[in-house]
Amino acid sequence: MSKIAPYLYLTPAMIFFATFVYAPFINTIRMSFCITNLRGEAVKFVGLRNYTETITSPSFLNSLMVTFQFVALIAVPSIIIGLILVLLANNKTKLSRLYELMFSAPMAIASAPAAIIWTMIFHPTNGILNYLVQREVGWLTNPNIAIYSVALVTVWLNIGINFIYLLTGIRNIPEELIESAEVDGAKYFQKLFSITLPMLSPQLFFVFFLNMIMAFQAFSQIRLLTAGGPENTTNVLVHSIYREAFFNGRFEMASVQSLILFVIMLIFTIVQFALEKKLVHYQ
């Protein structure tokens, strides 16, 4: 009995993952090689035809480029802004607690209600943003700036979780190191680049890739703010998958795009683990 007890404890989790993760994933692979009906049932095997059609589709290639652009707009600014806010909150002043509350607050707001709030902020005639700039700017309707507007909302949504991770990391840096540097006459930026950032590298590295993954998976704010427009300039892969499946009824094409997105995220994860040993400094 003692030998099988661990497996009995694992059984509920194994059943859950088999039902809601592995089975749908296998079915997605199967559908990607078939033609499906409007109910998402595979009716005819077509081999690699769906894949060749997808990777040669201008719409898919546009979504792929938009996705990479969106990820770049999220990952880099998120980590820079998060680090600046953490350095500000870590200063031992009377406002430190207030900063902690303010900067972590976005974490408590889901992407859907946040998108609704920002829709009102971006409103071309009644929005507070246009009131401040004294111009009628189409933040969500101008093809040249729509993706930057959506990226701004996503960065704002990510600030809270980035702040928590980085603040935890910076407060785990031994005070002795900082005090020793101060005794040796080190200035603020010398301490920052010689001690703080190297010791914070595990959290910075984790937050950077976490933001990349969240950017790849972003959907709600894009759907509610722009619905992939204008002119498909915000039609990232996740939204393209949604369109193919539930608007075009082409579940096979949605399956292909889902698997391509899975492979892209898998490659980024492998790169993350490969770079971790070179770039991350552990105590």
Q: What is the pLDDT of residues 2-38, one digit of tens each?
A: 678 777 888 888 888 888 888 888 888 898 898 888 8
Q: What is the pLDDT of residues 216-237, one digit of tens each?
A: 999 999 999 998 888 899 999 9
Distance CA 30, CA 42 (A): 8
Domain count across the chain = 1
At 281, the pLDDT band (50, 70, 90 cuts) reads low
Query: What's the mean pLDDT in 250-274?
Result: 90
Q: What is the pLDDT of residue 282?
A: 62
Distance CA 162, CA 125 (A): 33
Q: What is the pLDDT of residue 25?
A: 87
At 283, the pLDDT band (50, 70, 90 cuts) reads low
Q: Residue 192 domain-assigned?
A: yes
219 touches 238 (CB < 8 A): yes
Distance CA 283, CA 279 (A): 13
Q: Residue 162 domain-assigned?
A: yes
Q: Residue 222 domain-assigned?
A: yes
Q: Residue 5 domain-assigned?
A: no
Q: What is the pLDDT of residue 104?
A: 80
Q: What is the pLDDT of residues 165-220, one digit of tens each?
A: 888 888 887 777 777 877 777 787 787 777 788 888 888 888 888 899 999 999 99
Burial 195-223 (b: 16+ CB within 10 A, else e): bbeebbbbbbbbbbbbbbebbbebeebbb
Q: Residue 70 domain-assigned?
A: yes
At 63, the pLDDT band (50, 70, 90 cuts) reads very high
H-run or E-run covering 221: helix 220-225
Query: What's the mean pLDDT in 231-260?
Result: 91
pLDDT at 64 over 90: yes
CB proximity list for 17: less than 8 A, separation 6 or greater: none
β-strands 42-45, 34-36 pairing: antiparallel
Q: Residue 36 domain-assigned?
A: no
Q: State which residues form the domain around 129.
A: 53-279
At 106, the pLDDT band (50, 70, 90 cuts) reads confident
The separation between the first and the last C-alpha atoms of the chain, rounded to the nearest angstrom, is 42
Q: Residue 112 domain-assigned?
A: yes
**CATH classification at residue 216:** 1.10.3720.10
At 53, the pLDDT band (50, 70, 90 cuts) reads very high
Q: Residue 7 domain-assigned?
A: no
Q: What is the pLDDT of residue 107?
A: 80
Q: What is the pLDDT of residue 132?
A: 86
